Amino acid sequence: MISGRILSTEKETVDFATVYLKGTGYGGTTNHEGLYHLNAPAGNYTLVVSAVGYKTVEKAVVLTAGSRVKQNLTITPETQQLDEVTIVSTGVSRVKRSPFNAVAVDTKELQNTTKNLSDALTKAPGMKLRESGGVGSDMQLMLDGFSGKHVKVFIDGVPQEGVGSSFGLNNIPVNFADRIEVYKGVVPVGFGTDAIGGVINIVTNKKHRRWFLDASYSYGSFNTHKSYVNFGQTFKNGFTYEINAFQNYSDNDYHIYASVEDFETGKIDRDKKERVKRFNDTFHNEAIVGKLGVVDKSWADRLMLGFTYSNMYQEIQTGVRQTIVYGQKHRKGHSLMPSLEYGKRNLFTKGLDIVLTANYNRNLTTNVDTASYKYNWHGDKKLMNSPGEQSYLYSEANNNNWNGTFTANYRLGRAHTFTFNHVLNAFHRSNTSLLAKEASTDAIAKETRKNISGLSYRLMPSEHWNLSVFGKYYNQFVAGPIAINANQDDYERTTRSVSSMGYGAAGTYFILPGLQAKLSYEKAYRLPTIEEMFGDEDLEMGDIGIKPERSDNLNFNLSYHRSFGKHSMYVEGGLVYRNTKDYIQRNVADLSGGKYAATYVNYGKVLTKGFNLSARYSFARWVSVGGNFTQMNVRDNMKKSISSNAENLAYGERMPNLPYIFADSDVTFYWRNLWKKGNVLTVTYDNQYLHNFTYYSAIFGSNKGEYEVPSQFSHNLALSYSLKNGRYNVSFECRNLTDEKLYDNFSLQKAGRAFYGKIRVYFGN
């Protein structure tokens, strides 16, 4: 037997480190105290210790029959992981040596809370979460002035376009991820994406754990239930499996303030707001992700087959404006997704690393709008002349989505790295109406294919500076129906193809130890998404002819990190410049009968200038305090009107429905070994501030406040107690402690004060 303890250079135990005898099947992981035990036949071996975020250590050992060898090892932090992540404070890390402006959000501190992945992202500088309501509502992430489709989402490097709403970031519990990488503005070619605002990459835990079980359940206001379970094993022969399952349920029956239609007079007093309760907003979703495969083989570091199933039901309380209220309108859907993941370092030759992923997603969404009644916010109903609260609708959208990614990295010596990436995405949607006795499928399907290739070269001659240059090729094919008469009742199939080239460069330089500057530029393109071209067959109206966005993106970032004794501090500032042409804007369109829908249009020129600041201080392992401040001016840069050659009255004004000043801060206190060794009490206070903004152009009537989202300042409080080094955990939260009136997209109101409790257990090693 050989045993011992693995410590870091900071004298902290390293749990879940992988310990094995090189070239054999004998291995395991350290427990929560950093201890390991291995049994093997007598002989000469090389002991290998590896852990995420640390340098791999090898040590020659001799095992003799009938004896026990004790071997303690100390490992040092590795700045190569995640392209060199350096932990600078609780919660947020800096992707340090990378020339790209990127941070990593560590989810470990949040895993005892009821937060989801989108909540966790608000800790990142320049990030703003935008939601249209409660649990399961439409959600957008705003990053440095860009939101929605401008920001692309990945899970372990796999693009998440077309996966369905069950896998929206506001529906996935924070425990699902080990960390979240945020690339702001200029994006490395390794993601093979067409983002202009940035990229969010959810990274799951890939540590080799002999066995583990992580399970939690929470309950809270508005009859909200959330549960999560994650378990798996890695055997000595390399076979591994893992199951992830989660669910969310909420009535979302919180109170709001709204104008109520009087059915007797047919009038709505816009100036009179009544406190009413939402009554048609139930949401639930369920998802299970299974993976099995092998790791650490001579022919594959990781080969995994996966299968995902998700289900969703969502009642729709209101349209894109809160003046509209629905009483029976809803949608439901499910998704099936098989997947493949393969990765191998030093394939065929030293320095060549390959990653290949592929998945197919079949998503069926049913929209139901067949009620014959009109509702107001009191829940009263009035018989209508014809059915359909928004539009008479009972239809299925059958979405088929294929994704494939290929990434190759080749390291030539220490200083040179070449990266090639290709992403293929194909989408096909057929719509079937179920209103008649016999189902009727549209004769013309909606299709798109997207290919993006990227090639980059990185020069890293020393630890003090490095430089990357890259090029990207974009190609998209689109096909679908287009009306050929004024009544829009006759269609023909139309097709189009677009292609373009982009390029850029990024560099970083350490001015002093701990003081780092980053500068990056990209001539970027963003291809229209499925929703922007085809809509969602309900409240979102697409435009098949919409053009790609083009943008010149420039980022400058300066950061400083220093630790002295038990003190650690980190400050960061960033400047952002975006000159965007054919900007794709989401607008609200007036329909007949006082109804509204969302539309997408190309808005000629938009100029973005802004900055964000971030700071954090921690003392020992007792307290951490920090915050972020962002100001982004996204302004209309069209001197002439789009529809005519007349002067554009909105020239120089801020683009509507975009927050431009927001901030957050938090402080966390830790009482370690409270009442018993290994127990920790954690208390966290955090807040969010949002400055008022208009959701129509600022020059049109906003002086009355009629088209304005007001300034708001919300506060949250959380308390958690962890026993036996995290084996048992209980937490309590109060969100929106002061019951602030919170609004967002087009002044849709969100929930007031809410309380939640959560229990969590973790077993394994």
The Cα–Cα gap between 291 and 384 comes to 50
* Per-residue model confidence (pLDDT) at position 80: 33
Quote the tokens at residue 496.
């189009």
* Per-residue model confidence (pLDDT) at position 706: 62
Mean pLDDT throughout 399-423?
91
The Cα–Cα gap between 645 and 639 comes to 9
* Per-residue model confidence (pLDDT) at position 128: 80
Considering only 49-53, 235-239, 417-421, which range has the smallest mean pLDDT? 49-53
Show the beta-strand stretches assigned E in 620-741.
623-636, 661-672, 680-690, 693-694, 708-709, 712-723, 728-735
What pLDDT digit, counting tens, does each position of 332-379 carry?
A: 999 999 999 999 988 988 889 999 999 999 999 999 999 999 999 999
CATH topology of domain 85-203: Ferric Hydroxamate Uptake Protein; Chain A, domain 1 (2.170.130)
The bridge status of strand 69-70 relative to strand 2-8 is parallel
Look up the CATH superfamily of 2-75.
Carboxypeptidase-like, regulatory domain (2.60.40.1120)
Domain boundaries in the chain? 2-75, 85-203, 211-334+347-764
How many Cβ atoms sit within 10 Å of the Cβ of residue 496?
12
Q: Is the pLDDT of residue 88 over 50?
A: no
Mean pLDDT throughout 447-464?
90
Considering only 135-144, 248-257, 506-515, which range has the smallest mean pLDDT? 135-144
343 in Cβ contact with 158 (< 8 Å): no
419 in Cβ contact with 409 (< 8 Å): yes
User: Which residue, chain included where needed, has tokens 């020992």?
Assistant: 620
Mean pLDDT throughout 84-90?
37
What pLDDT digit, counting tens, does each position of 682-694 carry?
A: 999 999 999 998 8
The Cα–Cα gap between 431 and 444 comes to 9
What pLDDT digit, counting tens, does each position of 240-294 carry?
A: 999 999 999 999 999 999 989 888 888 888 888 899 999 999 999 999 999 999 9
* Per-residue model confidence (pLDDT) at position 477: 95
Q: Is the pLDDT of residue 83 over 70?
A: no
* Per-residue model confidence (pLDDT) at position 95: 58
Q: CATH assignment of 211-334+347-764? A: 2.40.170.20
* Per-residue model confidence (pLDDT) at position 163: 67
Distances (CA, A) of 248 to 115, 217, 315, 664, 720: 12, 10, 14, 26, 21
69 in Cβ contact with 87 (< 8 Å): no
Cα dihedral: 560, 563, 564, 569 (round 10) = 60
74 in Cβ contact with 159 (< 8 Å): no
* Per-residue model confidence (pLDDT) at position 337: 92
360 in Cβ contact with 332 (< 8 Å): no
* pLDDT band with cut points at 50, 70 and 90 for residue 142: confident
- SS3 letters for 438-485? CCEECCCCEEEEEEEEEEEEEECCCCCEEEEEEEEEEEEEEEEEEECC
Average model confidence (pLDDT) for the chain? 85
Q: Is the pLDDT of residue 395 over 80?
A: yes
List of residues 6+ apart from 266 with CB closer than 8 A:
none
624 in Cβ contact with 616 (< 8 Å): yes
The Cα–Cα gap between 626 and 462 comes to 32
What pLDDT digit, counting tens, does each position of 642-672 carry?
A: 667 788 888 888 888 888 999 999 999 999 8
Quote the tokens at residue 394.
């009972």
* Per-residue model confidence (pLDDT) at position 11: 66
The Cα–Cα gap between 403 and 399 comes to 13
